[in-house]
Amino acid sequence: MFKQIDDGVKAVFESDKYKECLRYMSKFTNYSAGNCILIMLQKPDASLVAAFGKWKELGRTINKGEKGIAILAPMKFKSKEVEEQFVKDSSGNQIYNADCSEKKEKVEVEQTSIGFKKVYVFDVSQTSGEPIPEYVHELNEDIEDEHVEAVICAVRSVTGLPVGFEDIDSGAKGYYSYSEHRIAIQSGMSGAQAVKTAIHECAHALLHDPDKKLPTANSTRSDKEVQAESVAYIVASRYGIDTSEYSFPYIASWSQGKQLEQLNRFLNEIQEIARTICDAIYTELQALSENQTEELTEDEFLGLAM
């Protein structure tokens, strides 16, 4: 399974869609660490940020009522100051006064200094217009509601957390909140996308909860995303759901070509969590199957009685 992930992600890096995205991203400015912090504090879900003029250049406009994200832009400031300078002749030799002191004169000098001013940028989610190249595509496969609910029940069971569907304003498919102790899934998605997302967030809760004291909890953000999506791919594959169209590009966006290295580092933990989630889903599906069999038997009985 890990070899499949590695090969699949490598194929994404070589794809025309990925290269098109890189060409698009190259049009954007890299912001300083300080400005990245300012952006994160004001809009934590920001993903692609640019000024009004840049978005206009790319054929997109700022949505009405959107509030800009304030950052600091370096600016050159010019000022004039009067300085005393030594007077020299045409040959560059110092000229002296009658009392042998160095002759000086007052000269107006232009000074250039660097300062900062507040400017505003906007995230792509605050804009509309020309489409942005994408290589991560949402899964469209429909899965029966009772099977989706079985997976949700399994996630609740292994994490001990409430799992709910809601409208997530940031555009994320789902999230695990350690501070609120809950998992949220975007409502209105296909069955396959909802199942994959639920498993992904379940993996975050099991691998990255600092209270569980697993080594994976200290991973970098990119490592955590690679780990969680790999678990989602493995578990979904175990139950016949192919998430490669979503999982491989998603892992590519976080791995920078080092996905197998990121997985091998915590191979045992990832395998164990995948197994735990698989077992929980199996238990829920077994219970669902037994209930359906009981209902069918009861229906047959009622049919005979009539």
Predicted confidence at residue 102, as pLDDT, reads 73
Predicted confidence at residue 37, as pLDDT, reads 82
pLDDT in tens, 8-45: 888 888 888 777 776 776 667 778 878 888 888 898 77
Predicted confidence at residue 156, as pLDDT, reads 96
Residue ranges in the chain whose pLDDT is less than 70: 22, 25-27, 98-100, 135, 293-306
Per-domain residue ranges of the chain: 21-83+117-135, 136-291
Would you give the DSSP letter of residue 126? G
The candidate with the shortest Cα–Cα distance to 83, out of 102, 108, 58, 65, is 108
Predicted confidence at residue 301, as pLDDT, reads 42
Distance set, CA 87 to CA 80, 110, 147 (Å):
20, 18, 90
- 183-194 burial, b if ≥16 CB within 10 A, otherwise e? bbbbeebebbbb
CB 183 within 8 A of CB 151: no
Predicted confidence at residue 306, as pLDDT, reads 37
Threshold 0.85, pTM exceeds: no
Predicted confidence at residue 150, as pLDDT, reads 94
Residue 116 in tokens:
């900062």
pLDDT in tens, 243-255: 998 999 999 888 8
Residue 75 in tokens:
């600016």
Q: What share of the chain is helix, strand, coil (3-state, %, to 5)?
A: 50, 20, 30
Diameter over CA atoms, the chain: 133
